[in-house]
Amino acid sequence: MIKNILIDLDGTLTDPKVGITTSARYGLNKIGHPIADDVNIDWIIGPPLQASLAKILNVAVDDVLAEQALMGYRERFAVTGLYENHVFDDVAETLKTLQQQGYRLFLATAKPEVYARQILEHFELLQYFVHPYGSELNGDRTNKAELIAYIMQKEQLKPEECLMVGDREHDIFGARHNGIETIAVEYGYGSAEELDQAQPKARIKQFSDLLQHL
């Protein structure tokens, strides 16, 4: 019996592409590593950002260059990038319906919680969540499995009463690591191939389809 729904943010509730990619380019440019405009970096949306920046820079995740690029990213994102974002269709109505049906909703994002809360507040979605869980600015809990384990411990949740909804393999693997079933949204940033390999329990074409699966 599902009682608790953990929901990813980027690529699941909102499309943050402009804010994230523009801020990433800004951060990389700041450390002298500009990226050509025609290079697609949409793949960085969803996974822990410092790891993605390190991959672009071809350095270790904890390399000082990756850290500096992340600091540059945040400099722009915290002020402007947060709001260069839009909510997917039916999201607010679906969250409201789920809440009315008695489900407890928790945000579960690799994005720092301080930003996630601001985004939900800005788009008037915070009211539907028991709590918006995210990572710490120091990098703690950017790993989805760790984040979900933390939420379950804090909220005293049972895996069999939980469901995770997200768009990337990190959401599916992180939930599975904690014994939780998953539903993947197909309109986000996980490719069809990525989702085929990750094998969520179900896949939905729009957020409101979630209501039929519960």
pLDDT tens-digit series, residues 170-212: 999 999 999 999 999 999 999 999 999 999 999 999 999 999 9
Residues that are catalytic: 8
- The pTM score is 0.95
Provide the pLDDT confidence category of residue 46 given band limits of 50, 70 and 90.
confident
Spatial contact of 113 and 135, defined as CB atoms under 8 Å apart: yes
Mean pLDDT value of segment 121-130: 98
Mean pLDDT value of segment 128-140: 96
Q: Which residues of 111-127 are buried (b: 16+ CB within 10 A; e: fewer)?
A: bbbebbbbbbeebebbe
* 194: helix, strand or coil: helix
pLDDT of 96: 98
* C-alpha 64, offset from chain centre: 24
Mean pLDDT value of segment 23-45: 95
pLDDT of 109: 97
Average pLDDT of the chain, as a whole number: 97
**Percentage of residues in the chain with pLDDT exceeding 90?**
97
Q: At a CB cut-off of 8 Å and minimum separation 6, what does 150 contact? A: 133, 141
Provide the pLDDT confidence category of residue 164 given band limits of 50, 70 and 90.
very high
pLDDT digits (tens, 9 = 90+) for 66-116: 999 999 999 999 999 999 999 999 999 999 999 999 999 999 999 999 999
